[in-house]
Structure 1
Amino acid sequence: MSERLSSRSLPVEWAPKVDPRELSIGIVHLGLGAFHRAHQAVFTEHAAAITGESRWGISGVSQRSASVREQLAPQDGLYSVLTRGLDSPSVQVIGSMREVLTAPEDPAAVVARIADPAVTLVTLTVTEKGYRAVAGGGLDLADPEIQADLAGRPPRTVVGQLAAGLVRRAETGAGPLTILSCDNLVANGPFLRRLMEDYAAALVSVPEARVEAVSSRQRLAEQLESTRFPAGMVDRIVPATTDADREEAARLLGVRDEALVVAEPFIQWVIEDDFAGARPAWERAGAVLTDDVAPWEQAKLRMLNATHSMLAYLGGLRGYETIAEAVRDAELAELAGELMTRDVVPTLTPPDGLDLTAYGASVLERFANPALKHRTAQVAMDGSVKLPVRLLGTVRDRLEAGAEPRVASLAVAGWMVYVAAGRDVNGRELPLDDPQAARLREAAASAGPGPAGLVDAMLSIESVFDKELAADKLFRSLLIEGVGSLQSH
C-alpha cells in the first residue's frame, strides 16, 4: 500500500498551486462535504494562485461527524480532486483547507472562528434540510435544535452558529461579514437572511436569561444591517468517492489520499456581486459575478436539478444504480429531454449568454458520463425538501399558464412510487434517506386503494405540497395517471 498523502510525502510535481504554509484563514465554510472541496475550494485555490494573495485559507466546519477531520488532519489538510471525463482522468492536489472544525465537538471554536476579524466571508453547503426552514421559507422555530440554540446552548445549527458569530463580531468590532449560500435554493441569499431575521426576532421570546437574550437580539439585529447575503448558483456533479477512485488517484499521485473527492470536468459558479468586504478574485478563476443571479439559478434548478431528480426516481425504480445507466435507457432519456423542452423552458427567462436548448443538451451529455458513476440512490436523497425547489415551481407555473405539466407531474409521481414501493423492479431495496422519512412512510402505508389512494395520501403532506397545489384537479389527475403507469410497469 502506498504512503499516505501529506506535505512530506507529496511528490513536488503534485504540489498545490499555492503553498499552504503561507495561507492565513479568511473564509469559514459550513458544511464540509465533498461538493465544497470539489467546487468553492477549487475556485479559491485557483484565484489565489493567479493573484498571489495569501489571506484566503479556509476553515472548514463539519456539521455532523469528525470523519472529514480524520481524513484531512493526517494529510496536513491536503486532498486531491480526481476529475473524470470522457478522456483519461486527471488529478489536482488542493491546499486551501487550512483548518477543520467539528461543530458537535467544539461549537465554541466555530463561533470564535466566525467572529475572527480576519474572516470576511462565510460560505455554506449544508443541503436544503440543513437550514431547518418550514414550507414557505421561514425558520422552523419549533425545531428542537433551533429551540436549544435559542435557549443559549453552544450553537449546533447553522443559523445558530451564524447568529452567535455575528453577535460576537458586534461585541468586538470585528467588522461586517458576507454570508454566501452555495446550496440549491431559490434566492438562497435572501432566503438565508430571512432565517437569520426570524432567529433574531425569536430571541426576545426566550424565557431563559431574558435580559441576555434581548441584548443579543439587539446586537444581532444591528449586525444584520451591515451583513451581506449575496445569492449564488453552483454547478458541478460530484459523485460519492469509491475505492476504485482512490486506487486511480493513488496510481496518478504515487501516494494514498483518504480525503479524495471526484468530479466531472464541468464547473460553474455564478455569484451576485454584493459583498460587505474583501473577497477572493473568484472571477479570475472563472466565476461569473453578476447583478442578477435569478435567471441562472432558475435555469439550473429547473433544468439540471429537476431532471437529475426525475432520473434518480424513475431510474432507481427500473433498477439502474447510476444516473449514467438511467440516461442510456432510451425512454428515460426521451422523458428527460421532454421535461426540459416542454415543461421547464416555457417557464424560464434565459440569462444573457445562455442558450437554453444547448444547455439542456449539455445537461444530458454530462449525466451520460459513464466515468462518474453518480448513484441514483444518492441523487434521490432528501426528496421532500428537493421537490418543492426543483419541480413544483415548474408545475405551478405551467398550471397557471393553462398548460398540462405532464412530464413534470410524472417526475413527482416517480418520487411518490419510489417512496411507497421501497424496492426496485429487481426486488432490491430503495433506501429512503430523507429528513421526513417517518412521515413519508406513514403516508404511503395509510394510502387507500389504487393510484388515487397513494396520490391523495402524499398530497396531504403539507410540508411538501401547499394546499392550493394539492387541491388542483388537473395536477391530481396527472399524478394519478403517472402513478398508475409506473405501478403497472
Structure 2
Amino acid sequence: MKRLSASSSFPLNVVTPNYDRASLKAGIVHLGFGAFHRAHQAVYTDAALEADFGDWGIVGVSLRSSDMIRDLKAQDHLFSVTGRGADATEIRVVGSVIGGLSAREQREDLLALLADPAIRIVSMTVTEKAYGIDPVTGGLDPGHPAVAEDLANPRQPAGVIGVIVEGLARRHAAGALPFTVLCCDNLPTNGGVVRRLVTEMATIRDLALADWIREYGAFPSTMVDRIVPAATSATRQRAAELLGADDALALDTEPFMQWVIEDHFVSGRPAWEAAGALFVNAVEPYEKMKLRMLNGAHSMIAYLGQVRGLEYVRDVMAIPDCRAVVERYMRAAALTLDPVPGIDLDAYREQLLARFANPTIAHKTRQIAMDGSQKLPQRTFFSAVDDLVAGRDGGIFAYATAAWIAFLLRATALDDPRRDELADAAAKVAESGNPRFVFAIPGLFPQPLLEDEAWLNRVAQDLQEIVRTDNR
C-alpha cells in the first residue's frame, strides 16, 4: 500500500482539505508537534482555512525527536485524524501543516523562522514540566536543566522558554513586531504563566528586551480539550483501511473537541471560530472548570487504574464503584467553581462521564499518570483548599490524593520530574504506613492542606483502604 501523500486518492467519506494548499504560506510555528496538537489545533486551523483562507499554515517543530518530522515530510506534511465515537467514525486528512523542523537538528533554521515577520503566532503543547516553573515561586526555575542551559547560552537555546525569548530578541533587534505566544498546555492562566517566564528570562538577558515584550507582546490564555490516546499499530492499521494509504502519523481521538481562547493577538489570527472555538475576554472560568472537573477526575481515574491493574480509562469507568467515585469527584469539583458563562455544569459532568467511558478510545491510564507532581496541585490540591475554605471536608480530594500515593507505592519506575524525591518519600511511606513523607516534599502541597490535620488524616485513612483493597 502506498504512503499518504498529496497525490493520494481517498474514498468519498474521507474529509480532505478544501483549499489550495499549494498557495498556503506559513504564519504559525508550533512548538511540541505531538499527537495533541495534530488532533486539536491543526484540525481547528484546517477548518479555519476552509472558512477564511489566509497565510496561516503551520510549521510543526519537534523539540526532541526528528523521526516524526521525517515522517511528516515523507507524507507531504499530511496526516489523518480519526474521530471515534460509540456510534460513528469520521476520518479527516489535515492539510494545515506545511512544514516541519527538528529543534535539535535545525536549531538555527527554527530561530531564523521565528525572526521572520511572516510568523505571527508561536503556539505550543510541551507538557507542564517543560516550562521550567519553580514549584515554590511560580516563576522561572534556574535549576531546571533547560532553563539553566538557556541562561548560559541564550543565543543557542534548547528549552521552550529559551527558544521563545531568542526568537523575540531577534525580532526586537530587527525592529519587527513580536509574535503572539499561544500556550495550549494545562496550566492555570497559561498565558500569564508563560508571559512571566518569558519576561523573567528576558530581564536576565536584556532589560530593554523585557520592556519591549511587556509593552508589545501578547500571551493569550487558552483552554484546550480533546482526548487523544497515544497512537498504536492498530491506529495506523485502521487509518490505512479507511484511507487506502499508509499513514505513519495517524491518530485516533474522540469526536469531541473544545478550544476557549482569550482574544488578544498582535497581528491577527485564523478564523478558528469557524471550527467552533470560543473567543472570550476571560478564559479562567473555563480553564478552571476543565482542570478541576476533567483533568482532576482523569488523574484520579489513572491512579485507580494503575493501582488496580487496569490499562485503559474505559476499563476503570466500566467498574460501577469506580464510576461512582469519579462522578462524586466531578460533583465536588463543580462546587469549587465560579459561574462559567454558557456552561451547564451538570450537563458538562454527564458529558465527561460519557467521554471517559467511550469504548472505542484506548487511553492508557499509565499515560495520564505521568508527571503527577506537576499536574495534581492545580487539578486536585487547590480544589481541596477551596472545598475546605467553603466549610466542606475535602474528602473526595483526599481520596484522589491517596490514590496517587498508592500509585507511588506500586510504581517501579516513575515518569516525573521529581521522581527521586517521590521515590524516596514513597519508600518511607511503604515502611511506616505514614503518607506525611509525601506531604513533606517542598513546594508540592498548598500550605492550608499541610495545616489541616483532619484532611491529612483522611488521606492516611483512604490510603490504608486503597492499599488493603488492592492487596485482597
Separation (CA, whole Å) in 1 of partners of 2:84 and 2:207: 48
Secondary structure of the 1:447 match is helix
Matched, 1:36 2:18: no
**Residues 16-415 of structure 1: matches in 2 within 5 Å?**
16-53=17-54, 55-135=55-135, 136-152=137-153, 154-203=156-205, 216-341=206-331, 343-415=332-404
Amino acid at match of 1:86: A
Query: Which residue matches 1:211?
Result: none
SS at match of 2:429: coil
Q: Are the equivalent residues in 2 in contact too, given 1:18–1:45 (CA < 8 A)? A: no
User: What amino acid does structure 2 have at the position aligned with 1:272?
Assistant: E
Distance 1:347 1:468, change over 3 A: closer
Which residue does the alignment assign to 2:407?
Answer: 418
Identity of aligned residues (%): 42
Greater alpha carbon shift after TM alignment, 167-176 vs 458-467: 458-467
Deviations 1:333-371 (A, max 9, x none): 000011111x21111123121011110111010000010
CA RMSD across the alignment? 1.5
Render the CA deviation track for 1:389-425: whole Å, top value 9, x for unaligned: 1111101111222211111111111111101122xxx
SS at match of 2:113: helix
CA contact (8 A) 1:315 1:332 kept: no
**Residue 432 of structure 1 corresponds to which residue in structure 2?**
414
Other-structure match for 2:423: 441
Segment of structure 1 superposing worse, 466-475 or 142-151 = 466-475
Deviations 1:4-44 (A, max 9, x none): 11113343855423332221000011111100000001111
Q: Is the 8 A contact 2:191 2:221 kept in 1?
A: yes
Write the distance in 1 (CA, Å) between the matches of 2:280 and 2:430: 50
Match of 1:8 in 2: 7
Alpha-carbon offset, residue 108 of structure 1: 1.8
| AA aligned opposite 2:198 | M
Aligned-partner residue type, residue 62 of structure 2 = S
1:87-114 CA distances to partner (integer Å, 9 max, x unpaired)? Answer: 2322110111111111122222222111
Secondary structure class of the residue paired with 2:86: coil
CA contact (8 A) 2:83 2:252 kept: yes
Mapped to 1, the partners of 2:53 and 2:144 lie a distance apart of 44
- What are the superposed Cα offsets for residues 195-238 of structure 1, whole Å, 9 maximum, x if unpaired? 112112222xxxxxxxxxxxx44224313320111110001000
CA contact (8 A) 1:47 1:282 kept: yes
Q: Across the two proteins, how many residue pairs are aligned to each other?
A: 465
Distance 2:165 2:425 in 1: 36
Judge conservation of contact 1:250–1:257 (CA < 8 Å) in 2. Answer: yes
The amino acid that maps onto 1:290 is V
1:33-69: CA deviation from partner (whole Å, max 9, x where unpaired): 100000001111100101122x000011111111210
In 1, distance between residues paired with 2:126 and 2:405? 25
Would the aligned equivalents of 1:382 and 1:433 in 2 still touch at CA under 8 Å?
yes
What is the identity, as a one-letter code, of the residue corresponding to 2:463?
A: V
Q: Distance in 1 between matches of 2:163 and 2:178?
A: 16
Q: C-alpha distance in 2, partners of 1:137/1:17?
A: 44
**When the two structures are superposed, what TM-score results if normalisation uses the length of structure 1?**
0.92
Q: Distance in 2 between matches of 1:256 and 1:65?
A: 21
Structure 2 residue runs of 5 or longer lacking an equivalent are none
> What is the TM-score of this pair, normalised by structure 2?
0.95
Does the aligned pair in 1 maintain the 2:11–2:243 contact within 8 Å?
Answer: no
- Partner amino acid, structure 1, of 2:452: D
Contact 1:167 1:223 in 2 (8 A): no
Pick aligned residue for 1:459 from 439, 442, 447:
439
**Structure 2 CA distance for aligned equivalents of residues 129 and 143 of structure 1:** 9
Asked whether the equivalents of residues 180 and 218 of structure 2 are also in contact (C-alpha less than 8 Å), the reply is: yes
Q: For the residues of structure 2 that align with 1:357 and 1:450, how far apart are their CA atoms?
A: 41
- Structure 1 window deviating more from structure 2 (437-446 vs 237-246): it is 437-446
Comparing 457-466 with 357-366, greater Cα deviation is found at 457-466
Q: Is the 8 A contact 1:413 1:479 kept in 2?
A: yes
